[in-house]
Chain A
Amino acid sequence: MYIPIDSVIPNQNGKSILITDTVFADASFLINHYLSKSIKNKEENILLMSFTNNFIQYESIQKKMGNNLKIYKDTEKLNFIDANLISPSGDVNLKILFQKIEELLKESSFESTTIILDDITHLLYIEYPLNEILDFEYKCRKICNMYNCDIIVRIHKDIGDDNDIDPISINHSQLLNYLMNSYEYIIETNELESGYTDDIQGQLSFARGVTCTQFDFNPRLYHYKINENPAYSKFYAKGLIEGTV
């Protein structure tokens, strides 16, 4: 759990966060940050749906961050859904996954739930029909609203700008633009604009989404260097130009 990140976004339930990243600036640390945060919070449980990683990946990272996921696995506290083998026609598809989410939220005895969708881009990459992805995402967001739950979605934002007819990248940019317009908070990770340096890995920006109603939230820009041990990670607030403050 990285404290500087935590202090930016208001701590109240029912928020929606979109995390966008690129190949060069991987945002898995943000996913793990929110995972760790919810594990530590006794009143929350987690629904982690992963399309690209296995459980061991989260488990070993969380171990280094000071959480033992093993004891929570298969309890109500941590519901891990491995959706790696999702396919439109297979046993694991979005309809079934949504049913699972619905059931879990209904039966939950916790005050609040955090739903994490790790990498929704995977659905696009395997050419899942766009309307079904949109439908799934919309339903997830609405049900979170209903139960006052947090939803955190990760999406890659690097779409090549080739002009050839690549249906996946057309869908990708549509989905990305749509999501950017529907979430309350948008966290972006980027590589450094100025090149590479030893002490900084990339740039982290917190932006207000269109639907955000929190007035005490200030957009921030951080330079970061991540270490699994949060104490060794560094976050530097980027300076602002006079006049924009």
Chain B
Amino acid sequence: MYTVADLRKGLKVTLDGDPYLVIAFDFAKPGKGQALYRTKLRNMISGVILDRTYRSGETFEPASLEERKMQYLYKEDDHYCFMDNQTYEQVHVSEAAMGDAKNYLIDNLPVSILLFKEKAIGVEIPNFVNLRVTQTDPWAKGDTSGSDSKPATVESGYVLRVPPFIEEGELITIDTRTGEYSTRVKG
């Protein structure tokens, strides 16, 4: 069981029997008032998004989902196809249910497919993934301020801001919970 203070983006909870994904979470406290937790929750079956404010002390049951390790194969129309390495069974996950995970998909990426009543309704990817930079402008030499960033495209097609010293062809680590650059993979 979670208390509301444990909630964070990416957590899955049960509301009225359905699995919900926390897609936004923030702490609020109007002047001298009580602590409140503002959440945005997406119903993982219907896709309906709820805005809910909770008081401290509220509790949640984790969503009862089955997790199966699978491998990403390919995208077809608005579906993503994954394969179970043991049984060779293939499942499809809709683009909407993929959420931000679709930004980091590369061939053979190991993922967990989330099943609810045997239907694939979501995907879990590692918190950190390493992706190669396929396009970024060169660093203007002499700029040592360290305060600027520049856009870069990685092999999955995702575009993010990276430090100026990152060059094309380099491998970088991305934090998939925030979508932000984390570090450069050395060597």
The answer to whether A and B assemble together is no
